[in-house]
Structure 1
Amino acid sequence: MSDDLDEMARSVIDRNRYLTLGTIGPDGRPRVSPVYFTHAGYREFFWVSSPAARHSRNVAERPDVAIVIFDSTAAIGQGRAVYVDATAAVVPDDELPRRCAQAYTDVARGAVRFTPEDLSGAAELRLYVATAGAVDVHIPGGHPVHGTGIDSRRAVNP
Structure 2
Amino acid sequence: MGTVDPDGRPRVSPVYYAPDGYDHLYWISSPDAQHSRNIAERPEVSMVIFDSTAPIGTARAVYLLATAERLPDDEFERHVDHACRARFPEQRVFPRDELQGSAPLRLYRARVTEHSVHVRGSDPVHGKGIDSRLVVDLESSAPG
Superposed counterparts of 1:118-157, under 5 Å: 118-143=98-123, 145-156=125-136, 157=138
1:23 aligns with 2:3: yes
Q: 1:106 to 1:155 in 2, by over 3 A?
A: farther
Equivalent position of 2:48 in the other structure = 68
Question: Are positions 1:82 and 2:62 aligned together?
Answer: yes
The CA RMSD measured in Å over matched residues stands at 2.0
- CA deviation map 1:11-67 (0-9, x unaligned): xxxxxxxxxx10001111110000111110011111111111100110011101111
Whole-Å separation in 1 of the counterparts to 2:56 and 2:48:
18
Q: Retained in 2: the 8 A contact 1:51–1:125? A: yes
- In the alignment, residue 117 of structure 1 is paired with which amino acid? D
TM-score by length of 2: 0.84
Does the aligned pair in 1 maintain the 2:26–2:107 contact within 8 Å? yes
Equivalent pairs, count: 138
- Shift of the alpha carbon at 1:145? 4.9
Percent of aligned positions that are identical:
53
The code of the aligned residue for 1:54 comes to Q
What is the alpha-carbon distance in structure 2 between the residues aligned to residue 116 and residue 137 of structure 1? 35
**Unaligned regions of 5+ residues in structure 2, if any?**
none
TM superposition score normalised by structure 1: 0.77
Give the partner amino acid of 2:83.
A
Asked which structure has the greater RCO (Cα within 8 Å, sep 6+), the reply is: 1
Deviation at 1:108, TM superposition (A): 1.8
Higher Cα Rg: structure 1 or 2? 2
- Structure richer in helix, relative to its length: 1
Query: Shift of the alpha carbon at 1:69?
Result: 1.0
Q: Which runs of 5+ in 1 are unaligned?
A: 1-20
Shift, 1:99, TM fit: 1.2
